[in-house]
């Protein structure tokens, strides 16, 4: 009974049964009432002849006295009278003087019968009495053939209701199955994910709301598969990054222990540099993870952006000169102070400059420019390097992604990912545009907030 398809089918059948029952009862009542009303508005030939005989009786005797006895006289009138539908005859005082229901004689004509009574006229056209079909409760009494007609209609309605009810039950089961089928497919897909089949897609079908749920599920499933792929790739990349310096240190130490290398400052310096490399890698991973989860604490303060950019470029001047790359800072108008973590924003600019130098050939140039509008402080880092094709541009902010460059140099693939997350942590954004053979521009957007 907890099955959704059973509940839906039972609900549909119950609802349809109630509707069919109400409609059947309403139709039956309407037919009965309208048929009885119809009978009050028409006069059958038998009744019309009987009314003529009643008027003849009054015109002959001048009174209604003795009418009841005359109707049931042994001359055959009694049989003909009993074949008529239940009726009453009343005088002008509304007192019943005759009826084929003898117990009514002498009683007052019910008000309900006054509205459906047929006036009885004398020879001069004056009303001398009333003829009316009898009531049963609030309804007009029916003759045997009339009642049989209504019984036939009632039986027909019952048969139609039963057929409709059975058809409705079948329809309810079909509708419930149609409604539940997409959810059944969705359930199977969830079990597949539970068993490890990430990325499984459920067929989109059913009502609009169910389709929206399935589409959202499919997106979630695809995202889970992608996240799992990224996670596995990340672990593989981390293992690779850690393996190289560890292998170098192990080789150096084994060589020293075996006497292949001497225990001098040069060998110790090689090991020390690998330790520093490991430390930077671990620190970058820690920073990236904390920034992505928005748990990295920012120590914000008001800074002069132009001064910060100038200091950062000065720090890279020596490296740029060695590579014969020209660094330029372009700030043409005063900038309003920014409310940022100066250390983290300096790290963003440093990562972008390091990446630009790595991809800019000797004799090239790097321009750092800054400007402000009503909402944003915008910093562009533009190089004249080899540029990137679209498939590389879409991956540059992915952790451990390392593109090829003309110098053959490769970093750990974390610098741009860290830069993006640190900018996002400041409620900003970072964008990149590149053209192969012409260069690349990274654009940073930082909000103009004062606190």
pLDDT at residue 252 in the model: 81
pLDDT in tens, 164-202: 778 777 777 777 777 777 877 877 888 888 777 778 888
Contact 444, 379 (CB under 8 A): yes
* C-alpha pair distances (Å), 433 with each of 376, 430, 436: 19, 11, 10
pTM higher than 0.95: no
pLDDT at residue 439 in the model: 93
pLDDT at residue 140 in the model: 46
Contact 35, 149 (CB under 8 A): yes
Please give the share of the chain, as a percent, with pLDDT higher than 90: 26
The arithmetic mean of pLDDT across residues 326-338, rounded, is 90
The helices-and-strands tally (H runs, E runs) of the chain is: 12, 13
Residue 139 has pLDDT above 50, yes or no: no
Give the DSSP letter string of 333-385: S----EEEEHHHHHHHHHHHHHHHHHHS-TT-EEEEEEEE-SSEEEEEEEE-S
Q: Which one has a higher pLDDT value, 307 or 116?
A: 307
- Residue 280 makes CB contacts below 8 A (sequence gap 6+) with 412
The arithmetic mean of pLDDT across residues 237-249, rounded, is 74
The arithmetic mean of pLDDT across residues 410-420, rounded, is 79
Q: Is the dihedral angle over the CA atoms 11, 16, 21, 22 positive or is it negative?
A: positive
CA distance 197 to 189: 9
Residue 20 has pLDDT above 90, yes or no: no
Residue 2 has pLDDT above 80, yes or no: no
* C-alpha pair distances (Å), 245 with each of 6, 31, 241, 259, 272: 64, 96, 7, 21, 10
Joined together, the tokens standing for residue 44 give: 């059958």
CA distance 171 to 335: 72
Residue 309 has pLDDT above 50, yes or no: yes
Where does 6-91 show beta strands of DSSP type E? 87-91
Confidence of residue 407 (pLDDT cuts 50, 70, 90): low
Phi, psi of 368 (to 5 degrees): -110, 120
CA distance 87 to 414: 105
Which domains, and CATH codes, for the chain?
43-142 (3.30.450), 208-292 (1.10.287.130), 300-447 (3.30.565.10)
The arithmetic mean of pLDDT across residues 49-71, rounded, is 88
Scan for tokens 């117990």, then name that residue.
Answer: 103
pLDDT at residue 116 in the model: 67
Confidence of residue 406 (pLDDT cuts 50, 70, 90): very low
Q: How many CB atoms lie within 10 A of CB 365?
A: 16
- Of 370, 358, 357, 366, the C-alpha closest to 327 is 366
pLDDT at residue 138 in the model: 44
Residue 162 has pLDDT above 70, yes or no: yes
Mean pLDDT of the chain: 81
Confidence of residue 36 (pLDDT cuts 50, 70, 90): low
Least confident of 57-66, 83-92, 238-247: 238-247
Confidence of residue 326 (pLDDT cuts 50, 70, 90): very high
- Of 373, 338, 367, 331, the C-alpha closest to 440 is 367
């Amino acid at each position: 009974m907890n099955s959704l398809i059973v509940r839906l089918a039972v609900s549909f059948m119950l609802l349809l049964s109630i509707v069919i029952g109400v409609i059947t009862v309403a139709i039956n009542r309407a037919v009965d009432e309208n048929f009885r009303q119809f009978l009050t508005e028409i006069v059958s030939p038998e009744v019309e002849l009987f009314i003529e005989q009643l008027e003849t009786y009054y015109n002959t005797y001048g009174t209604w006295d003795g009418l009841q006895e005359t109707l049931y006289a042994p001359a055959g009138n009694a049989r003909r009278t009993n074949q008529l539908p239940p009726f009453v005859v009343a005088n002008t005082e509304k007192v019943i003087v005759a009826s084929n229901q003898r117990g009514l004689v002498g009683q007052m004509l019910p008000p309900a019968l006054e509205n459906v009574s047929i006036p009885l006229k004398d020879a001069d056209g004056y009303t001398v009495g009333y003829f009316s079909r009898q009531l049963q409760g609030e309804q007009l009494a029916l003759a045997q053939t009339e009642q049989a007609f209504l019984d036939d209609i009632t039986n027909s309605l019952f048969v139609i209701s039963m057929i409709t009810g059975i058809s409705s039950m079948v329809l309810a089961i079909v509708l419930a199955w149609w409604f539940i089928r997409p959810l059944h497919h969705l359930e199977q897909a969830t079990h597949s994910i539970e068993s490890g089949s990430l990325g499984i897609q459920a067929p989109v079908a059913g009502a609009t709301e169910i389709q929206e749920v399935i589409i959202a599920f499919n997106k979630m499933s695809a995202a889970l598969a992608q996240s799992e792929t990224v996670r596995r790739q990340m672990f593989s990349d981390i293992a690779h990054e850690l393996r190289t310096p560890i292998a170098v240190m192990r080789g150096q130490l084994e060589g020293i222990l075996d006497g292949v290398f001497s225990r001098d400052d040069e060998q110790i310096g090689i090991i020390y540099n690998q330790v520093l490399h490991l430390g930077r890698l671990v620190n970058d991973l820690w920073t990236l993870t904390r920034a992505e989860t928005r748990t990295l604490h920012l120590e914000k303060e008001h800074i002069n952006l132009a001064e910060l950019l100038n200091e950062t470029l000065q720090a890279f001047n020596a490296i740029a000169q060695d590579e014969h790359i020209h660094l330029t800072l372009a700030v043409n108008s005063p900038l309003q102070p920014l409310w940022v973590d100066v250390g983290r924003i300096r790290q963003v600019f440093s990562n972008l400059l390091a990446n630009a130098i790595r991809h800019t050939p000797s004799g090239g140039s790097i321009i750092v420019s800054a400007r402000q509008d009503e909402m944003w402080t915008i910093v562009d880092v533009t190089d004249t390097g080899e540029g990137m094709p679209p498939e590389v541009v879409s991956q540059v902010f992915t952790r451990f992604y390392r593109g090829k460059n003309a110098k053959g140099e490769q970093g750990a693939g974390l610098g741009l990912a860290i830069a993006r997350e640190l900018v996002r942590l400041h409620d900003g954004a970072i964008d990149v545009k590149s053209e192969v053979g012409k260069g690349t521009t990274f654009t940073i957007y930082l909000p103009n907030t004062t606190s």
